[in-house]
Amino acid sequence: MSTKLRSIEVLRLANECLVGQYPDRVVPTFVFHQFAAPLFEPDGDLVHLISTLAFNPNWCACKSRKIAQIIPSVANDQAALVSTMQGLLNPDRRLFLANATKTATVGSSNTFPLIAGLIIRGGADEGLGRRCFRVLKHFHPDSLQILINLLSPEEAFDPVTALALTLSGDQRRFVEQDWCNRTNEESTEFTEFDKNCADFLKNLISSIGHAGRIYAIRDLEIGLQFIGLLQMTSGFVARCSGTIPNIFVYGGMPPGPANDMRVRFSSSSFSEWISGIWRSIGERLKAVIESYPSLPNEAPAKVFFQQLRIALVNQKTRDKDLRVLLEAVSGFLDEQDDDWTIFDLLEDALNFPPSELARRVRALGQSIGFTAPDRGEGSVRLVLDTPLLNVLIRGAIGNSTMNFEDFISSVSRRFGLVIGPGSDDSVMASFNGQPDAGVYELLLLNQDSLQERLLRAGFARAYSDSHTEVLPHSLS
Amino acid sequence: MFKRDIESDFLRFLRSSAANVERLSDGVRQALNVATGIEEVVRTALRAKRDVVIAGTAGSGKTHLLRTLTGEDLTGYRVIPDLAAHPQYEWSRVFDGTQPAIVAGNEGAFLQGASAGFERYSQIVAILHATQRGEVFEDPSAPVVIDVAAFDPAGSRVLRQMVRVEMLANYVKETKSDEERIAWDMLSDDLVVGRLESLVDTASTSGKGEGFTFRQLWKFVGELVGGNPSKFWFEKLHTEEGEVASRIAQVFFPNSFCFPHIGNHMWHGDMAYLRGKFLPAAEPLLEMLVSQIQDRAYGADERNNTFDRLRLLALFGLKVSPLDDHWRFSTDLWANVRQLQVRPLIESLNRYLSYGLIDLGDELELWCQHDSERKTQKPKVLMSMGRVASKEFSIVRSRVFNNLDPSKTSLVGCRYVLRHLASAANVVITKDLLDAITKPRSFKTDDRLGVEYDWRVLRFVMQVASNAATPDKLRVIEFDFLKRSANTYAWQISAERIRRVAS
């Protein structure tokens, strides 16, 4: 395994939310499972059986007498059942067979988290779900009880939930009774940004019994990935510096034409944003490492090396990873004069230049339509695809309505996502010195594009020449 | 006699790019007054000493409506002509119960009052929303709310009153050439003006289908009567720059109409044949144009131009015009919606949501789309949480007023709303939405514009499903996008087992 793969061990000394080398494996379903897992005690065998119904009902019937009684035995009907279960449990195709022959059962993968009995600890989320859980538990612990109610319905009011309950039985037995005490975390300092994230998630969690619960779960999946990404980026900067960095988000239809001024502006804003986060990671890493003790009267490079070793050991890094990392750092330090910086270390020894951070952000955002373009060499920018817009509105305004300009300002103030001037054009200050077209006009144009999209998708209603109201689900 | 002092005011009004009733003299305003029926609603409310709110967008006619009321009508009333211009610290006192109030304002101003925590304003906003959804609100202690913006002047056939305003006729008589005057006089014929109204009505539903305001219509009338003096009004109606003319240009294609029985006669200037085919009101202009066609000194280009004018004249001036059939036999989805027919709309929604791969009939399938990742293609399997018959839905038109006995008038608004009766879930049906759902739905996520309409429809489906989903029956549809086919499965679900049933 190369240093590049292991460098996350060092990087997480600075930013615990940073995802590793394979960010495209981190998807909303996985984040949701990890987020909800502390609340439930899964029956692994049962989850495995139900998941396998999406591929091989016959095997499931052989393994479980109860399942055999529930599902049809005719081959034709079983083929129909496979399609049905694929639709029910696997809308994002995140359920995989365990081996290449595709004759066996499912491997370590996650179903759509329709009910508590399907929640398992598994699926790589690189700690984003756990982080969201901690933030929510700190600010809104009551919401977790609502989440339990959402995922463990006593009765089904729609056929999708009914089918899942028939297969899985009573859901209350999967609830971790002592979840509140068992999930006590070490003391962590939370920021205003974290509170904004917690408020956002709280708005997405509701105790719905009817068919709307399926959409609530889907929206929460998207919302968790969104908040997880923000925790890794702007949230990290907020923790380091106390201020939320602003980034311009393209408000038109993603991905947007490459020669559009707003697209170019959003790309340059993205680069600046990434550079800022990267610098913060470097500075934070330096500060964390230097906070560890070292032997006196040593050369600076040696002191740093000793401190890094202690920090990694303290973080319980596996021996073989530790050995490779220290070798790489040692090699780097040997090649340098004393004028090296932490940023040189990030780029050369840990293979983590700003572009590597951008790659991770792009991959994480891509699955929920938060970054564009999907593929290719085009300049990366933040966008808001329609499903994410729906979630952003629900998370930002809850069940009330909100003036469109206030909504724009609220998203900017709480998360640093600048779409337009909104009702308070103080965001302008953060974009001084940007391109020629006039930043204000650019922001206004961008805001108008988003407004048009909201109206088209039924997320907002225009009331007069100058007044648009953003609507939650129930009022649209 | 056309008075000079009024004339300049009137001309300014017609030619202004933002014709503004606030700047009109009383004389012109009285002369341009067009009865809509809203005035009577206001007077009824005033006689009952009810609080009255007149809401609407800029240009929808709030100020004009207020000014049609006399001092006698408003005796004892607190009159606020524009809430937004009224000091905000006094907003809480506007409806304090000491005196009935009549208040006009942009809807945004009332929302602002509601946001500021004024209970009365929250109530007004609630009534306004109900009005826009076509719902009846009844509470005698609450204000009567009139949504002037919802009134559809184009659909309510008030255009004929506008083009026949006496002042306009005098203006044409005194200032226009004989040719223009003869052409304008055609509008005295009900059939001719009816065709013009139908055209404007159709245009009002293009784009987002939000109708036209009085201001836009007056600007249109100004363009017809003014503008290029070498063109007749029927040549200007789709070539001018105003909102109405621009939207007519989107729906009116003169060259697409055929004149199989009179085309040759027009080309050869056969007046003897043509005379009986045209309405008497159109005959003077017909004679004039035919005489030009017969003029042998005419060059080919001039002859072609005159023939084009004759064709346009024929569309509006024939006793039996192809325009009439064009509207009468229109069977597109928007025409169905305008006739409040639910079934074709539900069938179209079903067809759209199932990518046109399967015929699902006229019961709305409650599709559940719960994928959360942005993939290249949409899920191949969709589950339906139930079916709801067409008769469980209705298409309602928004209301123009609310909280007053609806039997007083038959006024209806210009917005169309599809409503599920049991859950009160509703979705605004606009022309652009229908244009989207009558085209094939793409299974590719990259087709982003469609995604936005998908969401408007699927949000509605979700709301209906929240009320109408049935836990015991699950229908599944599996698409094969490459083969353009689909399979359906149905399951009966109980607590003990799942059993496949006929789909």
Summarised one tens digit per residue, pLDDT across range A244-278 is 999 999 999 999 998 999 999 999 999 999 999 99
CB contact under 8 A, A467 and B111: yes
Cβ contacts (< 8 Å) between A475 and chain B: which residues? 129
pLDDT recorded at residue B359 = 87
pLDDT tens digit string along A423-473? 877 777 777 655 445 788 899 999 999 999 999 898 998 765 567 889 876
Q: What percent of chain B has pLDDT over 90?
A: 45
pLDDT category at B380 given cuts 50, 70, 90 is very high
Mutate to test the interface with B, among A219, A464, A469 (most CBs of B within 10 A): A464
- Note the helical H segments in B186-299: 190-204, 214-225, 233-236, 243-251, 263-267, 271-274, 283-294
Maximum mean pLDDT: which of A228-232, B12-16, B80-84, B449-453: A228-232
Average pLDDT over every residue of B483-497:
93
Question: CB contact, 8 Å: B490 with chain A?
Answer: no
Smallest CA–CA distance from A458 into chain B, residue: B456
CB contact under 8 A, A92 and B465: no
Smallest CA–CA distance from A114 into chain B, residue: B370
- Note the helical H segments in A246-403: 261-290, 300-314, 319-335, 342-344, 354-366, 386-397
Cβ contacts (< 8 Å) between A157 and chain B: which residues? 469, 471
For residue B327, pLDDT over 80 is answered with no
CA distance B184 to B169: 8
For residue A187, pLDDT over 70 is answered with no
For residue A280, pLDDT over 50 is answered with yes
Coil, helix or strand at residue A192: helix
Nearest to B374 among A71, A366, A467 (CB): A366
Q: What would you report as the CA-atom Rg of chain A, rounded to the nearest whole angstrom?
A: 24
CA distance B104 to chain A (A): 13
CA distance B61 to B383: 48
CA distance A38 to B389: 43
CB contact under 8 A, A368 and B374: yes
How far is CA A127 from each of CA A17, A32, A229, B213, rounded to the nearest angstrom? 7, 11, 11, 56
pLDDT category at A1 given cuts 50, 70, 90 is low
For residue B21, pLDDT over 60 is answered with no
CB contact under 8 A, B370 and A367: no
CB contact under 8 A, A211 and B462: yes
For residue B307, pLDDT over 70 is answered with yes
Q: Is B33 exposed, middle or buried (0-12, 13-18, 19+ CB in 10 A)?
A: middle
CA distance B410 to A109: 61
pLDDT category at A191 given cuts 50, 70, 90 is very high
At CA B492, angle to CA B487 and CA B496, rounded to 5? Answer: 135
Q: What percent of chain A has pLDDT over 90?
A: 67
CB contact under 8 A, A403 and B386: no
Residue A418: what are its φ and ψ, rounded to 5°?
Answer: -95, 120
CA distance B64 to B50: 20
Average pLDDT over every residue of B245-250:
90
For residue A476, pLDDT over 70 is answered with no
What mean pLDDT value characterizes chain A? 89
pLDDT tens digit string along A15-71? 999 999 899 989 999 999 999 999 999 898 899 899 999 998 998 999 999 999 999
Cβ contacts (< 8 Å) between A27 and chain B: which residues? 373
For residue B212, pLDDT over 90 is answered with no
CA distance B460 to B261: 49
CB contact under 8 A, B456 and A456: yes
Q: Is A68 exposed, middle or buried (0-12, 13-18, 19+ CB in 10 A)?
A: middle
pLDDT recorded at residue A105 = 63
Q: What letters, b where the CB count within 10 A reaches 16 and e where it falls short, cover A176-211?
A: beebeeebeeeeeeebebbebbbbbbbbbbbebbbb
pLDDT recorded at residue A475 = 40
For residue A243, which of A214, A204, A277 has the smallest C-alpha distance? A277
Nearest to B493 among A163, A215, A368 (CB): A163
Helix (H) or strand (E) holding B423: none
For residue A295, pLDDT over 90 is answered with no
Q: Is the bond preceding B100 in cis, omega lying within 30 degrees of 0?
A: no
pLDDT tens digit string along A230-243? 999 999 999 999 99
DSSP class of residue B442 equals P
How far is CA B350 from each of CA A48, B158, B347, B419, rounded to the nearest angstrom? 35, 37, 5, 16
Nearest to A92 among B371, B382, B462 (CB): B371
Nearest to A210 among B149, B383, B469 (CB): B469
Cβ contacts (< 8 Å) between B489 and chain A: which residues? 80, 83-84
pLDDT recorded at residue B1 = 43
| Inter-residue contact A427 to A408 (CB < 8 Å) | no
CB contact under 8 A, B487 and A469: no
CA distance A389 to chain B (A): 10
**Lowest-confidence segment of A86-90, A334-338, A398-402, B279-283 by average pLDDT:** A334-338
Cβ contacts (< 8 Å) between B476 and chain A: which residues? 80, 83-84, 87
pLDDT tens digit string along B67-102? 888 777 889 999 999 999 999 999 999 999 899 999
CA distance A33 to chain B (A): 13
Contacts of B299 (CB under 8 A, 6+ apart): none
CB contact under 8 A, A80 and B489: yes
Smallest CA–CA distance from B433 into chain A, residue: A456
Other Cβ atoms closer than 10 A to B250: 12
CA distance A92 to chain B (A): 5
Please report, to the nearest 10 degrees, the dihedral formed by the alpha carbons of residues B449, B451, B454, B456 taken in order.
-70
DSSP class of residue B48 equals T
First to last CA, chain A: 52
At position B367, the amino acid (one-letter code) is W
CA distance B487 to chain A (A): 9
CA distance B452 to A362: 23
In this structure, what token pair is assigned to residue B273? 């044949």
pLDDT recorded at residue B213 = 80
Tokens 């325009």 correspond to: B323
pLDDT category at A307 given cuts 50, 70, 90 is very high
Residues 173-232 of B with CB under 8 A from A: none
DSSP-derived pairing of the beta strands A247-250 and A381-383: parallel
**Lowest-confidence segment of A304-308, A417-421, B19-23, B437-441 by average pLDDT:** B19-23
Q: What percent of chain A has pLDDT over 70?
A: 93
Mutate to test the interface with A, among B349, B374, B448 (most CBs of A within 10 A): B374
CA distance A307 to A288: 9
How far is CA A174 from each of CA A66, A152, A160, B449, rounded to the nearest angstrom? 18, 8, 19, 42
Cβ contacts (< 8 Å) between B373 and chain A: which residues? 27-29, 92, 94, 367-368
Other Cβ atoms closer than 10 A to A444: 14
CB contact under 8 A, A214 and B111: no
Mutate to test the interface with B, among A76, A86, A160 (most CBs of B within 10 A): A160
Coil, helix or strand at residue B413: strand
Cβ contacts (< 8 Å) between B465 and chain A: which residues? 158, 210-212
Contacts of B280 (CB under 8 A, 6+ apart): B189
Smallest CA–CA distance from A67 into chain B, residue: B497
Our measurement of the distance from residue B205's CA atom to the centroid of its chain's CA atoms, rounded to an integer in Å, reads 5
Residues 37-56 of B with CB under 8 A from A: 56
Size of the A and B interface in Cβ pairs below 8 Å: 199
Coil, helix or strand at residue A294: coil
DSSP class of residue B409 equals -
In this structure, what token pair is assigned to residue B121? 């304003």
Helix (H) or strand (E) holding A345: none
